[in-house]
Amino acid sequence: MDPLSVARTLWHHKLILIPVVLVTLLAAAYIFALGPRTYQSTATFALVNPLVPTEQEILKDPSLGKLNSNNPYLRSSDNTLVAQALTTRLGTQEVAKLLEMKGLGTEYSVERAGSFGTGLMVQINAIGSSPDQAMSTVDVLGEFLVQELEAMQEINGADKRFLFTALAVTSGDQATEQFSSRLRSVIMIGAGGVVLLFASVSAAQALDRRREAREKLGNLRSRTRGDRNRRADLSAEHGPDPDREWDSRQRKTADTRQLIANRKEDYLKRQSRVGTKL
C-alpha cells in the first residue's frame, strides 16, 4: 500500500484520526513537561599503587622488612586486577540492597574509566529521581568503594603500606538531568498512539465493509421484489397475454386430437381381433 493510499484512508476516517492524534499529542506533551524526571551524578576514583619500601629503606629501617606485604593484588602481574575485582564487588545485589535500605537509588553502574575500560580509574554513575538522591547515592557508593578496596586487600593481613588506595579525581557534587528518559517515554506514547490509530481505522474499515455488504444485499432484495411487483401490475393492467393463451389452446387441441386417434386405433384393433375369431 503506497503512502498516498494510506493518507487517503486515514483522512476518510478523520473522525477517528483527529481525536487519536490530539490525545497522543496531549499525553506526550504532558509526560515531557510534567512527567517524572531522572538525574545522574558521576564520581571518578584513581587507584594509587602502594609505596613499597625499597631495599635501601629497609637497610636504614629494618622494621620495614618485618611488615606483612602479603597483598594478593600487589603480587599479580596484571596491575588492573584490583580495579576489576573492585567493580565486580560493587556491582553485587548486596550493595543494591544496602542502597535501597538507605532510601537511595538502586540504578547505578561502577566501571573502569580508562581507555577502552582499562587502567586503574574507576567511575561511579548513579541515577536518582532528584538531584539530591543521585548525589547521595554517588557519595555512599564512594564510601563503599574505599571500604571494599581496603577489605579485599587485607584478606591476608597485609600492612596498610602495601595497599592500593582510592583517590577521588572528580566528586559527585553535581547532578544533571537525563532528558533521554523523558524522550523514551514520549517515543513510547507516540508508538502507542500510532498502534491505536491503525487499529481503530482497521476496525472502522471492517465495519464499513460489513455495512456495504448489508446494503448491497438489501438493494438486491428490493430490486427483486420491485421486478415481481411490476410484472404483477402489468398483468393486472393489460390482462392475460393473447399469444400465451393461443399457445395454450393449441396445445390442448393437439392433446385432444391425439387422445381421439389413440382411442380410435384401439377400437379398430379390438374389432379386427373379434372378426378373426368369428
Residue 130 is placed in which grid cell? 532528584
Q: From CA 188, how far away is CA 195, in angstroms rounded? A: 11
- pLDDT the model gives residue 135: 93
Phi, psi angles (nearest 5°) of residue 108: -150, 170
- pLDDT per residue as tens digits for the range 73-112: 888 878 788 999 999 999 899 999 999 998 898 899 999 8
Per mean pLDDT, which of 42-51, 170-179, 235-244 is the most reliable?
A: 42-51
Looking at the structure, do residues 198 and 223 belong to the same domain, yes or no?
Answer: yes
Looking at the structure, do residues 220 and 266 belong to the same domain, yes or no?
Answer: no
Question: In CATH, what number is assigned to the domain containing residue 139?
Answer: 3.30.70
How many domains does one find in the chain?
3
Residue 241 is placed in which grid cell? 397475454
Q: What average pLDDT does this structure show over 249-264? A: 75
Q: Write down the mean pLDDT value for the chain.
A: 82
Query: Is residue 1 classed as helix, strand or coil in its secondary structure?
Result: coil
Of 3-7, 12-16, 67-71, 150-154, which gets the smallest average pLDDT? 3-7
Q: Which of 162, 177, 192 is the last residue of a domain?
A: 177
- pLDDT per residue as tens digits for the range 122-163: 999 999 888 999 999 999 999 999 999 999 998 889 898 899
From the CA atom positions of the chain, what is the Rg in Å?
50
Q: From CA 51, how far away is CA 56, in angstroms rounded? A: 14
Looking at the structure, do residues 94 and 120 belong to the same domain, yes or no?
Answer: yes
How many other C-beta atoms lie within 10 A of the C-beta of residue 120? 20
Looking at the structure, do residues 49 and 21 belong to the same domain, yes or no?
Answer: no
Looking at the structure, do residues 43 and 109 belong to the same domain, yes or no?
Answer: yes
Q: From CA 256, how far away is CA 254, in angstroms rounded? A: 5
Contact 65, 89 (CB under 8 A): no
Scan for cell 509526560, then name that residue: 31
Looking at the structure, do residues 60 and 23 belong to the same domain, yes or no?
Answer: no
Residue 164's domain comprises 38-177
Query: Is residue 42 classed as helix, strand or coil in its secondary structure?
Result: strand
Looking at the structure, do residues 235 and 252 belong to the same domain, yes or no?
Answer: no
Is residue 204 over pLDDT 90? Answer: no
How many other C-beta atoms lie within 10 A of the C-beta of residue 9? 16
- pLDDT per residue as tens digits for the range 154-200: 888 989 889 999 999 988 888 888 877 778 888 888 999 899 888 88
Looking at the structure, do residues 165 and 85 belong to the same domain, yes or no?
Answer: yes
- pLDDT the model gives residue 231: 63
Bridge partners of residue 271, in order along the sequence? none
Under the banding of pLDDT at 50, 70 and 90, the label for residue 36 is confident
Residue 171 is placed in which grid cell? 566528586
How many other C-beta atoms lie within 10 A of the C-beta of residue 112? 19
Looking at the structure, do residues 28 and 114 belong to the same domain, yes or no?
Answer: no
- pLDDT the model gives residue 237: 57
Looking at the structure, do residues 110 and 42 belong to the same domain, yes or no?
Answer: yes
Looking at the structure, do residues 169 and 57 belong to the same domain, yes or no?
Answer: yes
Is residue 239 over pLDDT 60? Answer: no
Looking at the structure, do residues 11 and 104 belong to the same domain, yes or no?
Answer: no
- pLDDT per residue as tens digits for the range 214-230: 888 887 777 777 666 66
137's CB contacts (< 8 A; 6+ apart) are 41, 99, 104, 105, 108, 126, 127, 128
